[in-house]
Amino acid sequence: MTEKNLQALLLKRYALAAGTYLLVLGLAWLAWLAGLARVSLSCAVVASALVLASQAVLLALFTSGANRRYADPSLTEAQVLLAIALVTMLLAGLQSARGLFMVLYVILLLFGMFHLSRWVFIRCALVAFGSFCALLWALAWFGRLSDWPQALLQVSVLLVALVWLCLYASYVQACRQRMRQRRYALQAHQDTLRGMMRQLEDLVATDELTGLFNRRHFLRLASQELAALRPGRSHGLALIDLDHFKRINDVHGHAAGDQVLQAFAQVAATCLRDGDVLARYGGEEFVLLLLECDVDRLSLCCERLRLAYQNAAPIAGRALPLSLCAGMTLLNVGDDLDEALQRADKALYRAKRNGRNQCAAAWTHADA
């Protein structure tokens, strides 16, 4: 989840808490109007203003992003402790309705069940229980607690409710931890599977001997590039054949022939740009695609590749005669890839017929 999305989620949680405050505030005023609260109008107004001010401060923290400076950007524990203080203040002004409003302790702790750790949640529950007990003790001290049996029953009920809530919260958090571990394990398996899929795609698309793309993958890439070709632009296409390769195999063995193919792939890697596509087309034949290319650049590239291959280092300690032929053509908008390959193949055949070790262009001959 991005930081922006997380902040938006925290604002929604704050809005839920603020809405709950407004509802409780409305219930408190209803109790005051019903004569169930022993506070003056001015005290009720001040208490309401205090609640609204606390929510305004929290709103400023979330909207300004200042909450992100804290270890817990949600400020869950701070909001729960603030709510405990405000609920205790509310209960201090109530008489017979105090038992009804005790349920607010449970509601505010539910707010932190999914975001507080086990021990922080228990600590908040102890603060709530201690606050209520301190409230009853203060009322008794000032002689405002008239019904002791009812007060003891309220303490007992609150204690049972908070203990059950702590046990249930621990169970919920343990379940969430197990689910989180399973999600991480599943994500690790998915990452492994994606890596294996990428390896499989590489194996399917790559020629094992030379490390170049194979014919199938080249045809797919070339078709995509041809379809995306813009008007007025062209791609360069060349078929390359290594001269006398069969003779090298017959005289020096297939191992030497494999080394010749690998040597060509290494030489080509130093002559081509990033983005140029070279693939093994079959046997000793290769195919080259130069993107955004014109006649001059295609000719220069193929000639540079021919000379570099001709001057390659000795293979297996033997100075083998290395040369190649190339047949070149251009891909334009609306061209058919098979027809373009046929043009390049005809130019390649002409290069072989004219003595090998040369590059021939389809656009310089009538049969192109």
Q: Mean pLDDT across the chain, nearest whole number? A: 88
Confidence of residue 1 (pLDDT cuts 50, 70, 90): low
pTM over 0.75: no
Name which of 83-97, 237-251, 321-335 the model is least confident about: 83-97
List the structure tokens of 291: 């993107």
Q: Is the pLDDT of residue 239 over 90?
A: yes
Do the beta carbons of residue 284 and residue 352 sit within 8 Å? no
Q: Is the pLDDT of residue 222 over 90?
A: yes
- Fold adopted by 215-364: Alpha-Beta Plaits (3.30.70)
Distance from C-alpha of 184 to C-alpha of 189, rounded to nearest angstrom? 9
pLDDT of residue 339: 93
Three-state helix/strand/coil letters over the chain: CCHHHHHHHHHHHHHHHHHHHHHHHHHHHHHHHCCCECCCHHHHHHHHHHHHHHHHHHHHHHHHCHHHHCCCCCCHHHHHHHHHHHHHHHHHCECCCHHHHCHHHHHHHHHCCCCCCHHHHHHHHHHHHHHHHHHHHHHHHCCCCCCHHHHHHHHHHHHHHHHHHHHHHHHHHHHHHHHHHHHHHHHHHHHHHHHHHHHHHHHHHECCCCCCECHHHHHHHHHHHHHCCCCCCEEEEEEEEECCHHHHHHHHCHHHHHHHHHHHHHHHHHHCCCCCEEEEEECCEEEEEECCCCHHHHHHHHHHHHHHHHCCCCECCECCCCCEEEEEEEEECCCCHHHHHHHHHHHHHHHHHCCCCCEEEHHHCCCC
Reported residue count of the chain is: 368
- Beta strand pairing status for 234-242 and 359-361? unpaired
Do the beta carbons of residue 108 and residue 87 sit within 8 Å? yes
pLDDT of residue 317: 66
pLDDT of residue 365: 63
- Active-site residue (options: 284, 292, 303, 339): 284
Confidence of residue 367 (pLDDT cuts 50, 70, 90): very low
Confidence of residue 284 (pLDDT cuts 50, 70, 90): very high
292 catalytic per annotation = no
Residue range 118-132: mean pLDDT, rounded: 92
What are the extents of the domains in the chain? 3-187, 215-364
- Beta strand pairing status for 359-361 and 324-332? parallel
- Beta strand pairing status for 285-290 and 234-242? antiparallel
Do the beta carbons of residue 347 and residue 360 sit within 8 Å? yes
Sequence-separated (6 or more) residues with CB below 8 Å from residue 88: 131, 132, 134, 135
pLDDT tens for 81-90 read: 988 998 898 8
pLDDT of residue 281: 92
Residue 348 CA: distances (Å) to CA of 70, 325, 343, 354: 70, 6, 9, 10
Closest CA to 339 of 364, 362, 356, 361: 362
Residue range 293-299: mean pLDDT, rounded: 92
pLDDT of residue 174: 87
